[in-house]
Amino acid sequence: MARRAHPAAGFRRVLLAELRQIGARPGLMFMLAPFPLLLFVLLAAVFQLGLPRNLPIAIIDQDRSTLSRQMVRIVDATPEVAVAFEEATLSEGRQRLLSGEAYAVVLIPPRTERDVLAGRRPEVVLFYNNQYMTPGSLVARSVGGALGTVAAGISVEARVARGADVESATQAVNPVPIRQSALFNPSLEYVQFLLAAVMPTVLQIFIGASAALSFSRDRQGIAGLGKSLRLGGTLVRTAVGKLAPYTLAYLLVLWGADALLFGPMGARFGGSLPFHLAYGVVFVLASQMLGAAAALVARDTVSALAAVGVITGPAFGFTGLTFPRLSMNGFSDVWADLLPVTHYLELRTDNILRGAPLDISVPAFLWLAALALVYGGVTLLLLWRHGRPSQVTATEAGQ
């Protein structure tokens, strides 16, 4: 009767028991907030400089003419690359690539200037390391652009020599210019892009693992889950009471990281703040339910953690932030939909980066909520089964 009169009492008892457990474990306390924030700072430091600058390349100038020296100068002047090595032969240039010292080699063959003047269209070759795709393609783009500028200059001169005026010659060099702008994230900031995506993915591991630890600790304990269930009174109150401290801690970490990102680090926030907070809450809940369900399926704590690790560890590849979902195989596409972080990142992109109207985000939000409900349902079901073994045996004995 007393329990019914104070429906919050069961919740409070479980909550206090859980807080005592956390308090007794410094490792767990460290994992709740300091460790994820530390990782955030580490990742922020990795991407701190935004776009890479002065990536080293090698130049093989076999022409040694005014034109070739001009090319070297213009290439070196682009902010993304720096001419770090001047080599005599292609094999020396190749060695720079193999040792990882240079990302690209530019070969200016002998007689380049003479051939240009004679209208023989000589060839300058840019070899770049596409195994290191991010820096490689960045270097290729800027060096290619710089060499293109040199070629355009020559083309303008040739046209002027043929009697064109400078204005029309300049236009003729690039007849179909592309005014390219990114619709969102126009500065193509890596901080916005990677850090904002990596942090929730790492947090999903923490959130899932903490929920898994909480439930499997109870299952391993002498009293078992039964004790927590008796404390809570009902399944829902027990689950909520156990998970509440973690929900709160990780929401603070999630929002704390966002505060750093949009505050001191200067990322732009272009969406609705209440909505951002709302899907943050659902994301944390869904990840917790995923971890709790895994813990109740697994036999012991180590397998529970391993299961969470297997599900959440490789999640980043599946979110489609690096390699897009539209190009994934069927399995990956389905798997991606089962991970809370996929939908969370989509909602983030829609809301913060794109400032999309809310109705665009409804499907992703429903997905995220559905995941929370399904994983939560599985958790409650398993909790109910594991929590009352005595009752089952009692009925069996009665039959």
- Does residue 331 interact with another protein by CB under 8 A? yes
Among 20, 88, 89, 168, binds another protein (CB under 8 A): 168
Amino acid, res. 271: G
- Does residue 193 interact with another protein by CB under 8 A? yes
Under 8 Å between Cβ of 106 and 126: yes
Among 7, 16, 20, 123, binds another protein (CB under 8 A): 123
Among 21, 62, 137, 272, binds another protein (CB under 8 A): 137
* Residue 236 beta carbon to another protein: minimum distance, rounded to whole angstroms: 27
- Please, which residue, 90 or 378, has the CB nearer to another protein? 90
Strand order in the sheet with 81-87: 81-87, 55-61, 104-108
- Does residue 181 interact with another protein by CB under 8 A? yes
Interacting residues with another protein between 202 and 221 (CB under 8 A): 202, 205-206, 209, 213
Give the per-residue contact string, 67-86, with another protein (x = CB under 8 A; - = no).
--------------------
Which DSSP category does 327 fall into?
A: G
Supply the DSSP string of 345-361, one letter for each residue: HHHHIIIIIS---HHHH
- Does residue 89 interact with another protein by CB under 8 A? no
CA 314 to chain centre: 11
- Please, which residue, 97 or 289, has the CB nearer to another protein? 97
Give the residue from 34, 350, 363 showing the smallest Cα distance to 184. Answer: 350
- Does residue 301 interact with another protein by CB under 8 A? yes
- Please, which residue, 130 or 395, has the CB nearer to another protein? 130
Among 222, 327, 397, 398, binds another protein (CB under 8 A): 327
Give the residue from 183, 241, 308, 224 showing the smallest Cα distance to 22. Answer: 241
Among 215, 246, 318, 344, binds another protein (CB under 8 A): 318
* Residue 384 beta carbon to another protein: minimum distance, rounded to whole angstroms: 26
* Residue 35 beta carbon to another protein: minimum distance, rounded to whole angstroms: 7
Interacting residues with another protein between 334 and 353 (CB under 8 A): 335-336, 349-350, 353
Interacting residues with another protein between 8 and 67 (CB under 8 A): 27, 31, 35, 39, 42-43, 45-49, 51-56
Supply the DSSP string of 231-288, one letter for each residue: HHSSHHHHHHHHHHHHHHHHHHHHHHHHHHHHTTT-----S-HHHHHHHHHHHHHHHH
Degrees, nearest 5: CA angle 170-175-181: 100
**Burial per residue of 53-75, b for 16 or more beta-carbon CB atoms within 10 angstroms, e otherwise:** eebbbbbbbbbebebbeebbebb
- Please, which residue, 167 or 396, has the CB nearer to another protein? 167
Q: Which stretch binds another protein (CB under 8 A): 57-65, 171-179, 275-283, 375-383?
A: 171-179
Distance between CA atoms of residues 186 and 164, nearest Å? 36
- Does residue 367 interact with another protein by CB under 8 A? no
